[in-house]
């Protein structure tokens, strides 16, 4: 897939709460084609402590409105600067980067998308993509409290939504892997993105139940395009770059101790 360096325009910057913002970007030109699971590398200007680009997942693409959505969690200066962007300002991106989630051949496959924290970002795009192609899926989303559960209305457009919070303020109390949904049902394929301990717990559930499972990794990156070899993860094929061979990996390829 051809990659581009583009200046996109901030159409809207919606503060979701004091930790999260939704950036809606657009362009006078047609946005390039993108796949769910892919990400962009954002150049952050006017932040002296932010030297390298920041990798951010593609949260959603609305081709009709020519919109690209990025869901940002503030963790440091780079993400804070992104959340302070004003309407009309320009953001320079490398786009689209990385591989994508795979599609099962069987349209009747039972699909579960498990997300935690800001890791839900790529799952929204995946949900819309699946629905458009005639698949049906369920979402299981977790957070520390209800403030960390984002875009629930958006997710509901594309499938059933189940939630867990650690403090019980929304959905079932506990971690995603403790949700009752996982007791009864058998899924054919699980896609997951979130904090590493959560993804490992999901991978462990999938391994135990013999379920096919894809995870999206968030290793720190410098180039985002496979040239620096800084972002590697250990796999059955040796060190592979998360930015080009990933971010999505089937758990059977990873050397996780689960």
Ligand X SMILES: Cc1cc2nc3c(=O)[nH]c(=O)nc-3n(C[C@H](O)[C@H](O)[C@H](O)COP(=O)(O)O)c2cc1C
The CA–CA distances, whole Å, from 106 to 130, 138, 161, 209 equal: 12, 16, 22, 19
User: Shortest gap between Cβ of 94 and ligand FES (angstroms)?
Assistant: 11
Under rule CB under 8 A, residue 230 binds other proteins: yes
Coil, helix or strand at residue 202 = helix
Q: Return d(Cα 248, Cα 36) in angstroms, integer.
A: 10
Under rule CB under 6 A, residue 230 binds ligand X: yes
Under rule CB under 8 A, residue 49 binds other proteins: yes
Under rule CB under 6 A, residue 164 binds ligand FAD: no
Under rule CB under 6 A, residue 181 binds ligand FES: no
Stretch that binds ligand FES, among 69-77, 134-142, 163-171, 217-225 (CB under 6 A): 217-225
The CB-nearest residue to ligand FAD is: 76
Half-sphere exposure of 99 (CA within 13 A, CB side): 17
H/E stretch holding 129 = helix 121-132
Residue placing its CB nearer to ligand FAD in the complex, 118 or 130: 118
Question: Alpha carbon 108 to chain centroid distance?
Answer: 24
Which of 5, 75, 108, 228 is in the footprint of ligand X by CB under 6 A? 228
Contacts with other proteins by CB under 8 A lie at 2-5, 43, 48-49, 51-53, 94, 219-234, 238-239
């Amino acid at each position: 897939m051809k990659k581009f360096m583009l200046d996109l325009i901030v159409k809207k910057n919606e503060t979701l709460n004091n930790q999260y913002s939704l950036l809606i970007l657009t362009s006078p030109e047609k946005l390039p084609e993108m796949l769910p699971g892919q990400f962009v590398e954002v150049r952050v200007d006017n932040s002296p402590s932010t030297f390298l680009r920041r990798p951010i997942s593609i949260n959603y693409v609305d081709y009709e409105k020519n919109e690209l959505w990025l869901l940002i969690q503030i963790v440091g200066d780079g993400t804070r600067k992104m959340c302070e962007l004003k309407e009309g300002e320009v953001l320079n991106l490398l786009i689209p980067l990385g591989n994508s989630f795979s599609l099962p051949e069987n349209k009747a496959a039972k699909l579960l998308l498990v997300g935690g924290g800001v890791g839900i970002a790529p799952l929204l795009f995946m949900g819309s993509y699946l629905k458009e192609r005639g698949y049906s899926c369920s979402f299981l989303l977790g957070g520390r409290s209800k403030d960390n559960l984002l875009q629930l209305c958006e997710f509901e457009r594309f499938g059933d939504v189940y939630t867990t919070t650690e403090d019980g303020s929304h959905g079932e109390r506990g971690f995603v892997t403790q949700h009752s949904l996982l007791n009864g049902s058998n899924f054919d394929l699980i896609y997951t993105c979130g904090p590493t301990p959560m993804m490992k717990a999901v991978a462990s559930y999938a391994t135990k139940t013999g379920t096919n499972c894809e995870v999206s990794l968030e290793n720190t990156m410098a180039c985002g395009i496979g040239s620096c070899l800084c972002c590697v993860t250990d796999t059955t094929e040796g060190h592979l770059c998360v930015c080009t061979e990933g971010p999505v990996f089937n758990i059977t390829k990873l050397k996780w101790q689960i």
